[in-house]
Chains A and B, each alone.
Chain A
Amino acid sequence: MQIPLVDYLVLGDEPYLQANECTNCGARFFGRRNACAHCGHREFKPVRVSDTGTLRTFSIVYRAAPTIPTPYVSAIVLTDDGTSVRSNLINIEPDPAKITLGMKVKLDTYVVGTDDDGQEAVAFGYAPV
């Protein structure tokens, strides 16, 4: 059994991120919204977000809460369909010389933990293309 880390990650043969898109202005949000933060409209439709994008910004985090393994690369990715996503960069050395702003990346998933019932939590990250 697998469960997504967050409800906007849709698992399957080809996992993808699903956003709530405002039916009035097209603004996209992860997680539920009571009304659109951009225009105040109250109707949303689920949309599939492009799984490729570019690295907008990053930080290599060395100091974090004690239970979080470091260093890791925190990133904001701008997907090819113009949606900002917060995640980690994966399959890359945490070395500023290896990470280039604007580099092409692609969504990938991995198992991040297993609970007492044997259920696996699946997280997503972005890997260099």
Chain B
Amino acid sequence: MAQDIWVLGTHMTAFGRYPDQDAVDLAAAAALGALDDGGVTISDMDLLSCGTLFQANAGMGQQVQKQIGQTGIPVYNVSNACATGATALRTVIMAIRAGEADMGLAIGVEQMGKMGLLAGGARKEKNVYEPSGRFGAVMPIDGILGTDTMPGVFAQAGMEYANDNDGVGFEQFAKVAQKNHAHSTLNPLAQYQKEFSLEEVMGSPMQSYPNTLLMCCPTGDGAAACVLVGEERFATLSREQQSRAVKISASVLTTDPYVESGAMQPDVNTLTRNAAQTAYEQAGVSPEDLSLVELHDCFATAELIHYDNLGLCEPGGAGDFIDRGAPWRDGDTPVNVSGGLISKGHPIGATGVANVYEVATHLRGEAGDRQIEGANVGLAHVIGLGSSCGVHILEKSGIS
């Protein structure tokens, strides 16, 4: 039987812009914070996994070791689009379950600065057309044969849901962003902490209908880290460490299985549904049991469809779910009480670890002004286009 795994320590930097620090500084700050939080040192770690996307070939894990301790342990540098952080966590979890480690450190970090729009390459017309690439294209097709821009791709995912289900439109998508901006005002770690009215959300500059600027996550910098421990080592820890630890009752990573339309429009649904179903089975919990959910709201359109994909609402009922306020912090299932990617920010490699930090902090009862009272089980979800989906379900320790 595989060992239970616990989050012993966790930390995240505030998300935002750090022109005076580099990614190594941010990652080191998160790592040291997580070690201190868990009451352990780098000498206790049997492995380190470090996730970053835009500096994937920089040997980030080894660079961090130079700042926090070169103990000679194995480092796994991982990159998996927006699921990079979740992949770093899973790398440590798999090593502990495989019996190769008792304790490990997972770090997610990204420094994006003001990268602006993430899209396909700029169009550079050749002087003489020559077919190239897998489609034999004579020029980049972004903007001619549909869109490669992230706000556009996720807009289409949302509009497809609107095509298939009643009661979903621009206003429902906008309400998602209104909620997350409002939630972020309680989170001092969020990149933005400003509330906006529904009219302001809908009236902000249109990026890719129906996603306006206030319905899109910003680029930014930040890092998060978790110290993970297997149950054998966990049993040797102090009562205080055990009572603040958070149990990982499910950890799942999926990719997108074949669907007919998948090559034309990335399918962000099936892999999320598969990951959620497996995670609920692993944890033995159902969506109604969740005290809070941190899900991947890279765009407002994405959050709405994931209500359905994660089983938080009735099938087809995501429009009604937001209309009746269910995902607000005082609703049936609080979603993205951190402010979500839309307002907390989305330094890509950090996101999948930061979501676990957020859920764990509530389960410990240490979330301050934004604490969801009595939280005992929570879910963290990320999805990276390409695609990969990570889902973790966490439970309160139960040891006092």
Contact = CB atoms under 8 A, between A and B. Distances in A.
B134 A59 contact: no
Given A56-B261, A59-B155, A84-B261, A7 B135 contact: yes
Given A59-B208, A63-B117, A112 B135 contact: no
A123 B144 contact: yes
A113 interface: yes
Given A63-B207, A115-B125, A88 B135 contact: no
Interface string B198-209: 000000011111
A86 B263 CA distance: 9
Contact of A6 (B121, B137, B155, B258): B137
Interface residues of A, number: 53
A96 B260 CA distance: 26
Interface in B127-153: 127-129, 131, 134-139, 141-147, 149, 151-153
A64 B149 contact: yes
A9 B187 CA distance: 51
Interface string A30-54: 1110000110000000000000000
Interface of A: 3-8, 27-32, 37-38, 56-70, 72, 74-76, 78, 82-88, 96, 101-102, 112-113, 115-117, 119, 121, 123-124
Given A59-B151, A64-B149, 16 more contacts: A7-B136, A31-B134, A32-B134, A56-B261, A56-B265, A59-B152, A59-B159, A61-B143, A61-B147, A64-B119, A65-B119, A65-B121, A69-B143, A78-B261, A101-B162, A115-B126
Interface of B: 117, 119-129, 131, 134-139, 141-147, 149, 151-153, 155-157, 159-160, 162-163, 170, 205-211, 258, 260-265
17 contacts: A3-B138, A5-B141, A5-B144, A6-B141, A8-B135, A37-B258, A61-B149, A62-B205, A62-B207, A63-B151, A68-B143, A76-B264, A78-B261, A87-B146, A88-B143, A101-B162, A115-B125
